[in-house]
Structure 1
Amino acid sequence: MDFVGDRRGQSIQIGAVLLFGVLIIAFSSYQAFVVPEQNREVEFNHNQEVQSDIQDLRNAIVSVPGATSSQGISVKLSTRYPSRLVARNPGPPSGSLRTDGTTDMQYNITVRNAAAKGETGDIWNGTARPYNTGAIAYTPDYSLYTNAPTTYYEQSVAYNQFPTANITLSEQSMVNGRDITLVALNGSLRRSSGGSTSVDVRPVSRSDDPIIVRNDTATTNVSISVPTRLPESKWEELLADEIDDNPGDLSNDRYIADVTTTDGPGPYYTLTITFERGANYRLRMAKAGVGDGVSSESAAYLTDVRGDGSKVTDDISEVVLEVRDEYNNPVQGVTVYGGVDSGSDGSLVEGEAVSDNDGQVTFEYDATGVTPGTQQLNFSYRGLDGNFDGTAPENVSLDVTVTVQNGDTGGGGGDDGGDGGDGSPPSIDSFSASEQGNSDKINVDATFSDPDDNLDQVVITVYRDFLFFRTQVYTATEELDPAGDSIDRSLAGGRKFDSGSYIVELSLSDSAGNTVTEDRDLFIS
């Protein structure tokens, strides 16, 4: 046979070479275009998940004032690309989570020109009060999503910071009408491991109860200053519903007079929020701990809760005080010492007490045999000595007025003492004051007893912003319930009970001249 010139196998070889070339080009295109696009989508989706995690972390921090235990928040620091049989992936994407400024006092919340009444005013007297704080930042390290933002939490706001813009992920919760809520961040956190990490948010100092503050002089304004990376224009957007376009108008539920920023410290601005004069503000503060090196809080001042200015007879009455830290929150386990001033009479049943879970201590004052008049009681968690200063933050001085003694009817005679009874004073068994829905009324509910059945009148007095607002007198024989031992009244008419702080005072008097008085704090939102 003649095989010379036979070329039948060449077409198969050429086809195989061309097919291999097509495969190489297709694989190259897949590696160059499809794989990066898919991986970029993986990185983008991961970044969306992290933003949601940071919002959860933000929610845990801003809820510290009402929290009773730590909250663990999981943050997904990194992700994985899908497995591929032939194509190659770059190294796995990662990210870091860290605190910033939380151990440096130049990054602080500062409250200025805020004054409180009573013993709390020993420490809240208008002087500037700084509290260290900072921010938490998540910084991604992606291969393909190169313009991914750094996600921050600071001053109640979570947001994304891009090179040319800031996009907020949450609203602010620092200011709501007259409510000011400040949560300081403390501790050191730096995590960059693969996968997820858990961040424990610990309530170092917290309480549901605010203090009432207002401008300390007629020419100053309460203000708060905080470090922030957000510009003034962004904060004006966040606070738009709280800024008063007509500063000084206290009737529109907007109390921010001005919002300004200055440069520093470091890469931050200092945001200053200035509030209107003449309003009472409910200031609630808390301290949240994350990571390592979280510092604890100790006693900063002692304040009275109940008993100052009270009127008692020759019996045992209670005086209640509260130990607080610099965030105005209760401190447990502190020994408080008490005694009667050298110029006063009577005695305390116990000379010391330890603060409970609410930071409170209760002392009993025994006025047996004490001549009617005002008696001074002194308390301190530093101990009592001859140099007692009632204006010092750690000390409290209370006045108790001893009234008509048991058995002293204030005059009169006869076999049954007339309408004066046997001299036993009335007592308040229970007493509450509350806002009655949205009806602009205050509801007063109380029960009381009078052993000798000579109760004469019940007086309810309301003070607004520590000033007299209105009073209502009920005569025992005509306006109380048929048994004469309780009252349930709604106060309304004349003057509107609008938003603000009130003190509701309940006073019982009998025909022998005995009087007992208690009061309750009430805030109408």
Structure 2
Amino acid sequence: MRDGLDFGDDRGVSAVIGFIFIFAILMILLSVNQAQVVPAENEQIEYQHFEDVRNDLVDLRSAISTAGQNDVSQFPTVKLGTAYPPRVLAVNPPPASGTLQTSEAYNITITDETGTTERIPTRFLEYQPGYHEFQSGPTWYENSVLYLDESQRGGIVIIEEQNLVTDDNTVRITALQNDFRRSGTGRVTVELYPTQAGDLSALTGELEIAIPTQLSGDTYWNDAFDDDVTVDPTVTPDWYESGVHALNLTVEKDNLKINTVGIQEEPEAGGVKENVGTGATTPPSQGDQTTYLTNTGDTTIGDGQKTIEFSLRNNGDSPATITQISVDSTTANADSIDNGDGYEFEGAGGNLNTPISIGGPSYSLDESATITDGATETFTLGEFEAKGNMKGESVTLTLYFADGSDQQFTIDIPK
């Protein structure tokens, strides 16, 4: 004490200031770690997954070709997403989930010299990552081509080239069918089952083929074939809908090989694939007779465009019994269809009185509809009243059979 004044002891002030200074540095370091180091490390983890899933998709592409062309079921796997390692002093975002899914169905159209047409539905397959840091567009499979769609950041990156047309001028089409969607971070098994492509025995001579594609001529198809290939591709822009074009090919029937692959969770008793031009005539086993149903193409509109009548023929040697049906539109006008009360599906002893909604729901038949072997039956899709002009459009019917299989038909509405 001096002159009666009492000054406090400040010997601990420097220690407190030092602690605050160290704490501030620590918080800055943690902030930098959270804002820069963690995202950078997570980006590397996501990029590694991007490389891994690309390899998975290459294997999936190969499996689709093997299942279709070699008639052997395949079970490739795809790692949909990835997780981040636990961190004590940092916060991770949620795991990066990915989605593998098919597109809606579009028809491959095959027309011969006489104007006879066969339509076979096919789908694209898309993998969409859900990364938080690494920038990547979706990866698509279509018509044997695997590509990365970076159109938002520069263009298309081809991962695997087409084998649709080979140097011997043979066109090999593998149609991918059935709806499929899986999301998450785990590894999913994609079950691929070869099925019959359809009966093209009535087609003769030179064939005009239109195949759905999202790749334009300038983007890919104009330069996709080798110089010694005489099949000349042309692309009609936006033929199916905006962004879905038609790849047009002309080929002799003997040079066309076509098969289908079903993508689904569990195997179904479907028919084996059939290559056009091989002369294969062996009927399938008893459990596979439903795959011999064909649409005769005789489609009419009645009752003021409120009903559609079409005929199905059973080319097998045993009855085909239909137990369920679903209806969907293959056109962009699906939303213009009146889904009011009174829809009926009738024929061959079956009668569905439940309203049918456009968009894919399926319903049980009140009675099973049976088409005996060798018979042709006429079916009626009733009270199908279009708000817009549906003439010249199409609807896709999926029939579900008593043996557990299913089959799709596209019904063209006459103009």
Normalising by structure 2, report the TM-score: 0.60
Matches within 5 A, 1:198-213: 198-205=189-196
Deviations 1:82-129 (A, max 9, x none): 211110001111011111123xxxx11122336xxxxxxxxxx65222
Question: Shift of residue 206 of structure 1?
Answer: 7.7
User: Is 2:101 the counterpart of 1:142?
Assistant: no
Q: Tell me which stretches of 4 or more aligned residues in structure 1 moved more than 6 Å.
A: 302-305
Percentage of identical aligned residues: 29
Distance 1:47 1:273 in 2: 33
Aligned residue for 2:185, secondary structure, equals coil
Note if 1:282 corresponds to 2:246: no
Q: Which of residues 201, 219, 241 is equivalent to 1:234?
A: 219
Name the counterpart of 1:194: 185
d(CA) in 2 for partners of 1:8, 1:36 = 43
Query: Alpha-carbon deviation of 1:34?
Result: 0.6
Secondary structure (helix, strand or coil) at the match of 2:189 reads: strand
Shift, 1:224, TM fit: 1.8
Q: 1:304 to 1:257 in 2, by over 3 A?
A: closer
Aligned-pair CA distance for 1:270: 2.4
Equivalent of residue 296 in structure 1, options 260, 265, 270: 270
RMSD across aligned C-alpha pairs, in angstroms? Answer: 3.7
Q: Which amino acid aligns with 2:149?
A: Q
Q: Residues 27 and 280 from structure 1, CA distance in 2 versus in 1: closer, same or farther, beyond 3 angstroms?
A: same
Q: Specify which structure has the bigger relative contact order, considering alpha-carbon pairs within 8 angstroms and separated by 6 or more residues.
A: 2
SS at match of 1:143: coil
Query: How far did residue 18 of structure 1 move?
Result: 0.7
Matched with 2:25 is 22
Distance across 2 between alignment mates of 1:175 and 1:304: 18
Distance in 1 (alpha carbons) for counterparts of 2:165 and 2:278: 27
Distance, in Å, in 2 between the alignment partners of 1:40 and 1:183 is: 36
Preserved CA contact (<8 Å) 1:76 1:195: yes
Contact 1:188–1:292 (CA under 8 A) maintained in structure 2:
no
Match of residue 269, structure 1, among 220, 225, 244 = 244
State the distance in 2 between where 1:50 and 1:298 align.
30
Which amino acid counterpart does residue 218 of structure 2 have in structure 1? Answer: S
Q: Given the alignment of the two structures, is residue 185 of structure 1 paired with residue 176 of structure 2, yes or no?
A: yes
Which consecutive residues of structure 1, in runs of 5 or more, have no partner in the other structure? 115-124, 217-221, 243-252, 306-320, 324-329, 336-352, 356-380, 384-525
AA of the residue aligned to 1:204: T
- Equivalences, count: 284
Partner of 2:116: 127
- Superposed counterparts of 1:299-314, under 5 Å: none
One-letter amino acid of the counterpart of residue 112, structure 1: T
Instruction: Report the equivalent of 1:317.
Output: none
CA apart distance, 1:42: 1.5
Query: Which among 374, 377, 382 is matched to residue 382 of structure 1?
Result: 374
Report the Cα distance in structure 2 between the residues aligned to 1:152 and 1:303, rounded to whole angstroms: 30
Shift of 1:81: 0.8
Which structure has more helix as a fraction of its residues? 2
In 1, Cα distance between equivalents of 2:41 and 2:277:
62
Q: Which entry has the higher C-alpha Rg, 1 or 2?
A: 1
In 2 relative to 1, CA 283–295 (structure 1 residues): closer, same or farther, beyond 3 Å?
farther
Secondary structure in structure 2 of the residue aligned to 1:290: strand
DSSP-derived class of the 2:63 partner: helix
Residues in 1 aligned to 2:218 and 2:278: alpha-carbon distance in whole angstroms: 43
Contact 2:79 2:188 in 1 (8 A): yes
- Equivalents in 1 of 2:128, 2:41: separation in Å? 21
For 1:53, the aligned partner's letter is D
Q: How far did residue 295 of structure 1 move?
A: 8.5
Q: Check whether the contact 1:232–1:271 (CA below 8 A) recurs between aligned residues.
A: no
Residues 1:5 and 1:263: Cα distance change in structure 2 (over 3 Å): same
Q: For the Cα contact (< 8 Å) 1:256–1:275, is it kept in 2? A: yes
Say if 1:265 and 1:292 are closer, same or farther in 2 by CA, change over 3 A: farther
Contact 2:257 2:277 in 1 (8 A): no
1:160 maps to which residue?
A: 148
Deviation at 1:178, TM superposition (A): 2.0
* 1:264 positional shift: 3.7
Q: Residue 160 of structure 2 aligns to a residue in which SS?
A: coil
- When residues 24 and 62 of structure 1 are mapped into structure 2, their CA distance, relative to the original with a 3 A threshold, is same
The offset of 1:290, in angstroms, is: 0.4
Equivalences for 1:61-460 in 2 at 5 Å? 61-102=64-105, 107-113=106-112, 127-145=116-134, 147-162=135-150, 163=152, 164-176=154-166, 177-205=168-196, 215-216=205-206, 222-236=207-221, 239-241=224-226, 253-275=228-250, 281-291=254-264, 296-297=270-271, 322-323=281-282, 331-333=284-286, 382=374
Look up the equivalent residue of 1:149 and give its one-letter code: G
Tell me whether 1:37 sits opposite 2:40 in the alignment. yes
Relative to structure 1, the CA distance from residue 299 to residue 260 in structure 2 (aligned partners, 3 Å threshold; closer, same or farther) is: closer
